[in-house]
Structure 1
Amino acid sequence: MKSITVKQLQKRFNLEILAGEEHMDREITRPRAHRPGLEFVGYFDFFPMNRVQVLGRKEINYLHKQTEEERNLHIGNVVKYHPPCFIVTANQEGLKYLMIYCQQEGIPLLRTGDTTTEFLGKLDAYLTQALAPEIAVHGVCVNVSGIGVLLRGKSGIGKSETAHTLIRRGHRLVADDIVVMKKLSSQTILGTHNETTREFLALRSIGLINVVRLYGRKAFQDETRIVLDIELSPWQDKALNNDLELEPKTTEYMGVRIPHIEIQLQPGRDVAGMIEAAANSWYLKQQGYSAAEEFMKRIEGEMK
């Protein structure tokens, strides 16, 4: 199971440490935060104790209004489950009693100036991506007109060279050689690099190039949602047909099915142009348009 430490979270959002600094190595393994409002009034039937606990104005104002005895009871009932950490939003103050409990139980207490809604949005997005299941795939990932494409094929088939042509046409590199694929949901795969290869593209006979240094910031982006799986393969006569509408094929990654297309290579064939066409065609299909259907309607109209 993937995890990050509270220290990593604190650095990512520049959080102020109020208590439990010596316990910042505690692990976070769940991707969504929780606001323990119901738990402060004694309802624990569905308490996600292993999630980051966020205390907004409602929770803190409620605690402020309690008697010392009531407050000690409510806080004690929550901290005894030892969640990874507590984060107080909106720079709220008067937290001495909370600091004492967290220090005693070894739970980091952090604070941010962001509002609760703003911070929860950023926190959940970060945790979802940081803790997402992932695999590494040999290939190239590019963003073609806003559409994430995974290029696969045998070593030396021309994946990186094709990516270079796409970059020259104004599209963006995401990852070369090793593509890290993260499952964000049952329908979403995010493609990114492994940091080591960030911005680098390996071209045979040329060597490594830094696409940002050569072509500017617009030539690279850190991540993209992958919606097309394109396999580059050697040309085989009569292996591919020319039907009006090919039967859809998919490739499965971590339980997520992605549309699959095979493009065979041949000298003089504009592979980069075909990838652009495939990406734009996928986009039009998402809008409900089918070129084959329009063509058949025209044929039917002429026959009538």
Structure 2
Amino acid sequence: MGELTVEDIMNRFGLELIAGHEGIHRHINMSDISRPGLEMAGYFDYYPSERVQLIGRKEMSFLETLPSITRRKRLERLCSEDTPAFIIAHGEEGPRELSQLADEKNVPVLRTDYKTTQFSGMLTNYLVGQLAPMTTVHGVLVDVYGVGVLITGGSGVGKSETALELIKKGHRLVADDSVEIRQVSENVLIGTSPKLLKHMLEIRGIGIIDMMTLFGASAVKDDKRVLLAVDLEIWDEDKHYDRLGIDEEKIEILDSQITRLSVPVRPGRNIAVIIEVAAMDYRMKRLGFNAADEFTKRLDQAIAENAEILKAEESD
């Protein structure tokens, strides 16, 4: 699971910090968001204190109806040690009591100009992505014709060089060398680059190059859903390689499975073009057209026709 602090969401969404400045390094461990209307009404039996607390106009208008002493007591109970932060929507001014308590207990109070429902959806999507189960894979992730292709293989097999050729052809780099993959939902894997390596590509003999500087913003992408894995390996004369593509091989990452292809590398093979074709073929299969199945049908039909001809000749 990734690590996330209040400061991260503050920077991500341009939130204004209005109180509890000492608490911006608090960790956020839950992707769910709470709107504490029931708690403001006095019901704390199931208060999810470990969630980010989002306060909208409904909650604000209700607080204004409470006597000052009651309002302070309930806000004090809301300011738990486990509470990561309060976020006030619509650019509203927060209750004075909340700011005072937040400063006392170092619970950050943030403000956004977004509407409550709109911001709730945006923040939830962000938290789900950042706090999803994560693993790191050694390889290169490239967006090829809209398909997230994870290129893996042994050291020196040519992963980065293949990615460079693909980028020159107009495709986009997501991550090189180290790919952080998060499972945001069932069978949905999102790949990103570590911050240190973002937009960077390592080419042996040249060194580290910045793809955004060399090729422009259209050559890079921050994240991409991983749909296809291509494993590059040095050609082995004694190994049998699939020539028809009838049996689809799978690889498991976290709890999700994606299609995996083994591509042998040897002089004269244009691996970048092969990966382009693999991405296009993957899209065609998702649309219902499978070339291997079509070939099998034609082969069966040809065998059946030849069998009928032989049978007719035998009968003559």
For normalisation by structure 1, the TM-score amounts to 0.88
Where does structure 2 lack aligned partners over 5 or more consecutive residues?
306-316
Distance 1:207 1:25, change over 3 A: closer
Residues 109-124 of structure 1 correspond to what in structure 2 (within 5 A)?
109-124=109-124
**Secondary structure at 2:273 match in 1:** helix
Pairwise CA RMSD of aligned residues?
Answer: 2.5
Structure 2 match to 1:204: 204
1:42, CA displacement in angstroms?
Answer: 3.8
How many Å separate the matches in 1 of 2:263 and 2:294? 24
Aligned to 1:129: 129
Q: How far is 1:297 from its partner?
A: 5.4
How many residues align? The count is 303
Superposition misfits of 4+ residues, deviation over 6 angstroms: 299-304
Provide the secondary structure at the position in 2 that maps to 1:12: helix
Letter aligned with residue 21 of structure 1: H
Find out whether 1:17 has 2:26 as its counterpart: no
Confirm or deny that 1:239 pairs with 2:237.
no
SS at match of 1:196: helix
Partner of 2:263: 263
Contact 2:246 2:292 in 1 (8 A): no
Residue 194 of structure 1: how far off its partner (Å): 1.7
CA displacement 1:226-262 (0-9 Å, x = unmatched): 111110012233611323x422221122222121110
1:184-203 pair list within 5 angstroms? 184-203=184-203
The aligned residue for residue 32 of structure 2 is 32
* Bigger radius of gyration among the two: 2
Other structure's SS at 2:197 match: coil
Q: Please give the secondary structure, in 1, of the residue aligned with 2:11.
A: helix
Structure 1 alignment gaps of length 5 or more: none
Match in the other structure for 2:314: none
Measured against aligned partners, the alpha-carbon deviations of 1:96-116 in whole angstroms (never above 9, x if no partner) come to 132233334332222111111
Superposed CA deviations along residues 37-70 of structure 1, whole A, max 9, x for unmatched, are 2332344454321111000111111212233354
How many Å separate the matches in 2 of 1:15 and 1:56?
15
Give the TM-score normalised by the residue count of structure 2. 0.85
C-alpha distance 108-204 of structure 1, shift in aligned 2 (>3 A): closer
Please state how far the C-alpha of 1:300 moved relative to its aligned partner: 7.1
Q: Which amino acid aligns with 1:171?
A: H
2:97 matches 1:97: yes
| One-letter identity of the residue aligned with 1:220 | V
State, as a whole percentage, how many aligned pairs show the same letter: 38
Alpha-carbon separation, structure 1, partners of 2:113 and 2:67? 27
Cα displacement (A) at 1:134: 2.4
Alignment partner of 1:88 is 2:88: yes
Match of 1:145 in 2: 145
